[in-house]
């Protein structure tokens, strides 16, 4: 059994003040495969103190120094790619065939580095200098479903900004979080700039949220947990960035290529065993086309090969835990009880898999908008197909959700997809399966979150904005914030 007995604080591997071990359960075999030692609030205090001390010097490093640091992190990270792939297969059931989970983090690091090269840390409005300065000590709490990538995005943009960090990965993915700390250690990140404290949300997460020495907290997870983080952080008025739950809709317009829309929806929804906050878990189809779409959905859902995530032929592994397995199955049963029509999948264990938290790829048709499976985030391989009468009704159904993380539209030449896309209330919209871009912002409307990650907007999250007056000559040498070539007449005054 692998052992992860240390926290990473102030550039050193250290034992917690009051150590307590927990076992990590392999979701394929339903048995322990590793043991992780947890920290407590007292260890958070140590880590925050180290980060505060390191901020004084790290916040003044040059852009060139931070670019060199990111390059070192990329080099070390890529040397561990195979180890990461095998580790996340064991701890959270992600197949080794899903290389995006491992290659994606390095790609995001390169994007952050490239944006940093040209980022306008100083610009001007009129005769005033506008400075963007690192916000301070950042607490970064990441989830298990993208165990490396989400944490890497948070960390790398924090480092790019000149912030110092205390990170807490999910307990389900504490092993890969600890390995990422090893990567940063080997990349010679200065002592105290990055710190890692494994622990529970109730203990470590809550202390990070409330800590007066933390200037910003970035959290990715469920909406319920995000509300607790926001409430706890309000006491010290720290900046809060939240990426939370989703129940994304895919509106298939009548002139769309139905087969393309159906097959894409299944692949995107069931990627990562459906454990993705952007999953298009509601598919809206015109009522006259429901029966034409269903065979394509069934056929595509049955293409997945469920099995041991360490085998290269596996395309869907187990869900992460016994708790998640029960939750998904309970919601499938609720769908059946409420009258949705099951067309493939269901409650039975997949054939030839007598253990492991495996859920069959499941599709319900004839789902009505008020059904539980149409409203709650299932976070598993379950799709609800909902009929609609016209475009206005489709948009009402899509937007009738407390969530607004992602949205999708499929259409053809006879419709106006821009009109539909622009009326969807969500942070990221894809038309006809267009891929996303790591330079563009990611985040949600409504209860799907606050703030944005990735790209220039992601870097903005880690920066404060300062207006400086009285240096007109220096200001004139800087680029205009709004790109104007016209002379701006400043208006003097006293503000609140």
Q: Is 5 exposed, middle or buried (0-12, 13-18, 19+ CB in 10 A)?
A: middle
Catalytic residues: 243
If you average pLDDT over residues 65-81, what whole number do you get?
98
Positive or negative, the CA dihedral 198, 228, 327, 350 is: negative
- Degrees, nearest 5: CA angle 163-164-167: 120
Residues with Cβ within 8 Å of 434's Cβ and at least 6 positions away in sequence, in order, are none
Residue 115 is predicted with a pLDDT of: 97
Residue 494 predicted with pLDDT over 90: no
* pLDDT tens-digit series, residues 326-365: 999 999 999 999 999 999 999 999 989 999 999 999 999 9
If you average pLDDT over residues 124-129, what whole number do you get?
96
- pLDDT grade, residue 414 (50/70/90)? confident
* Cβ 9 vs Cβ 191: under 8 Å: no
Q: What CATH architecture is 249-446?
A: 3-Layer(aba) Sandwich (3.40)
* pLDDT tens-digit series, residues 368-381: 999 999 999 999 99
Distance, in Å, from the CA atom of 449 to the CA atom of 405, rounded to the nearest integer, reads: 8
Q: Strands 239-243, 449-450: parallel, antiparallel or unpaired by DSSP?
A: antiparallel
Domain extents in the chain? 2-244+449-460, 249-446
- pLDDT grade, residue 489 (50/70/90)? very low
**CATH for the stretch 2-244+449-460:** 3.40.605.10
Cα–chain-centroid distance for residue 405? 11
Cα–chain-centroid distance for residue 3? 27
Euclidean distance between the first and final Cα of the chain, in Å?
61
Residue 484 is predicted with a pLDDT of: 62
Token look-up 């202390």 returns 207
Distance, in Å, from the CA atom of 431 to the CA atom of 415, rounded to the nearest integer, reads: 13
* pLDDT tens-digit series, residues 449-479: 999 999 999 999 999 999 999 999 999 999 9
**Whole-model pTM over 0.75:** yes
Distance, in Å, from the CA atom of 384 to the CA atom of 368, rounded to the nearest integer, reads: 9
* pLDDT tens-digit series, residues 176-223: 999 999 999 999 999 999 999 999 999 999 999 999 999 999 999 999
Long-range contact pairs involving 414-422 (C-beta distance under 8 Å, separation at least 24): 414/254, 414/255, 415/253, 415/254, 415/255, 415/391, 417/253, 420/251, 420/253, 420/391, 420/394, 420/395
């Amino acid at each position: 059994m692998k052992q992860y007995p240390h926290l990473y604080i102030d550039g050193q591997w250290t034992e917690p003040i009051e150590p307590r071990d927990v076992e990590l359960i392999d979701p394929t075999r339903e048995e322990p495969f590793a043991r992780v030692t947890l920290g407590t609030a007292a260890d958070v205090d140590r880590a925050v103190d180290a980060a505060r001390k390191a901020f004084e010097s790290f916040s003044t490093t040059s852009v060139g120094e931070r670019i060199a640091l990111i390059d070192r992190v990329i080099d070390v990270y890529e040397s561990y790619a195979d180890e990461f792939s095998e580790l996340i297969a064991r701890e959270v059931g992600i197949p080794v065939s899903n290389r995006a989970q491992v290659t994606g983090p390095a790609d995001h690091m390169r994007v952050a580095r490239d944006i940093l090269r040209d980022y306008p840390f100083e610009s001007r409005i009129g005769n005033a200098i506008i400075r963007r300065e690192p916000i301070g000590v950042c607490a970064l709490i990441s989830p298990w479903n993208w165990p490396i990538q989400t944490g890497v995005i948070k960390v790398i943009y924090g480092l790019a900004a000149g912030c110092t960090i205390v990170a807490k990965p999910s307990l389900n993915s504490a092993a890969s979080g600890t390995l990422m700390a090893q990567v940063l250690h080997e990349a010679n990140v200065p002592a105290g700039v990055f710190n890692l404290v494994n622990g529970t949300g109730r203990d470590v997460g809550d202390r990070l949220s409330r800590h007066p020495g933390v200037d910003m907290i970035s959290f990715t997870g469920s909406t319920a947990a995000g509300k607790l983080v926001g409430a706890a952080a309000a006491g010290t008025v720290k900046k809060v960035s939240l990426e939370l739950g989703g129940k994304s809709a895919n509106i298939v317009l009548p002139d769309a290529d139905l087969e393309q829309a159906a097959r894409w929806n299944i692949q995107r929804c069931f990627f990562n065993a459906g454990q993705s906050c952007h999953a298009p878990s509601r598919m809206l189809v015109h009522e006259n086309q429901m029966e034409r779409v269903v065979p394509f959905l069934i056929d595509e859902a049955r293409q997945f090969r469920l099995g041991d995530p360490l085998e290269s032929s596996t395309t869907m592994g187990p869900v992460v835990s016994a708790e998640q397995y029960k939750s998904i199955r309970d919601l499938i049963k609720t769908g059946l009880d409420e009258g949705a029509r099951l067309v493939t999948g269901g409650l039975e264990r997949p054939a030839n898999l007598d253990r492991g938290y495996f859920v069959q790829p499941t599709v319900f048709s004839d789902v009505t908008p008020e059904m539980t499976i149409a409203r709650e985030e299932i976070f598993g391989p379950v799709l609800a197909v909902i009929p609609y009468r016209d475009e206005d009704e489709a948009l009402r159904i899509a937007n009738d959700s407390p969530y607004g993380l992602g949205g999708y539209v499929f259409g053809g030449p006879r419709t106006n997809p821009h009109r539909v896309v622009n009326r969807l209330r969500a942070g990221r919209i894809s038309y006809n399966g267009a891929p996303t871009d790591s330079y563009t912002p990611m985040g949600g409307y409504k209860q799907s979150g606050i703030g944005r990650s990735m790209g220039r907007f992601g870097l903005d999250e880690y920066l404060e904005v300062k207006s400086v007056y009285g240096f007109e000559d220096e200001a004139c040498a800087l680029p205009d914030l709004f790109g104007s070539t016209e002379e701006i007449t400043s208006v003097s005054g006293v503000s609140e």
